Amino acid sequence: MKKLFLLLCATAGLMWADCVDGLRKPTPAEKKMFDEVAAAISATLPAPPQSWRTSGDGTQVREPALCTGTPVAGFPIGTTVVYRYLNPPKRRDYPEEAEMKKLQDEITAMTSMPAEVRKQYNDVMAQQSEKRRASRAAEKAGNKEEARRLRSEADEISKGADKIRADYLASIGPKVKEREAKIRELKSRVPDYNTEVTVSLVVNERKQVPPAGNSLNQDVYVFGAAAPAKNSLTVQNVVLRISGWPDYREIIGGKTDRSRLSALVK
């Protein structure tokens, strides 16, 4: 179901719930404009296709709730609907993902110490374990001073083992960083996977109007002025954002009647 909400700002930038001087009723002209916009929004947003569901609790459209002092039509009208794809087919793979896995496997293999280094490390750790066993035996025998001495020696030996591993990791550090940088670069080309598509729509955007265009995770459509709207009883701009996995947002975007939004702009 589609859930519509009104985004309202008072002159001082407070939400209506913080109105210090109370609320005012919308004028007949404001109510007429809101009803027209709300109807266009409802007609624009598609019903969920087969195997899809939407969030929200109905098609209720709330009338404006305005702070006293809010200028005439000094508010944007907005709505957000989340479409959820139930049991979608296996998503397509991106070539970058196979390369990312290959690089990550290489990092995993590299950070595993080779046999000769592993033997050196294990030999030192064996000495450390022997000292700790001797320390526990001394403690059990009641020789606390000897136990403390042996624990201290074990700690020093352990530091030697840590240094062997640290030196090895430092020796492969540049190669690891090179692969990690490549993974980040490849990841920047792969969209974020999600079974949800979020459709956000604002009529008379008062903030910076984003540029229209398609990006990795979002499509943006702008109708009308590319500048923030001024207070007006006419629609000056409409901003539609469709976010989600490209294949899924194509399904929802293809069923969104954008011509109705364009027709709203006076």
pLDDT tens-digit readout, 120-130: 999 999 999 99
Q: Using an 8 Å Cβ cutoff, are 257 and 44 in contact? A: yes
* Cβ atoms of residues 168 and 113 within 8 Å: yes
Which of 223, 211, 215, 205 minimizes the C-alpha distance to 44? 223
Q: Which residues of the chain have pLDDT under 50?
A: 1-17, 57-60
Phi, psi angles (nearest 5°) of residue 238: -135, 130
| pLDDT for residue 141 | 94
Give the C-alpha separation, 43 to 90, whole Å. Answer: 31
pLDDT of residue 18: 65
Write down the pLDDT at residue 16: 39
Cβ neighbours of residue 28 under 8 Å, at least 6 residues apart?
Answer: none
The number of C-alpha atoms within 13 Å of 244 and in the hemisphere containing its C-beta is 22
Intra-chain end-to-end CA distance of the chain, in Å? 29
pTM score, whole prediction? 0.77
pLDDT at residue 25, as a whole number? 87
Measured in degrees and rounded to the nearest 5, phi and psi for residue 178 equal: -60, -45
Are the CB atoms for 127 and 150 separated by under 8 Å?
Answer: no
The sign of the torsion formed by the CA atoms of 259, 57, 205, 250 equals negative
* φ and ψ of 237, to 5 deg: -155, 160
139: closest CA among 151, 127, 129? Answer: 151
Write out the two tokens for 265: 């702009």
- Let me know: does 157 contact 128? Beta carbons within 8 Å: yes
What are the residue ranges of helices labelled H in the chain?
28-44, 95-111, 115-140, 144-187, 246-254, 258-264
Q: Are 44 and 202 in contact (CB under 8 A)?
A: no
- Which amino acid, residue 263? A
DSSP 240: E
**In terms of Cα–Cα distance, which of 69, 37, 80 is closest to 237?**
37
Give the residue from 174, 199, 152 showing the smallest Cα distance to 52: 199
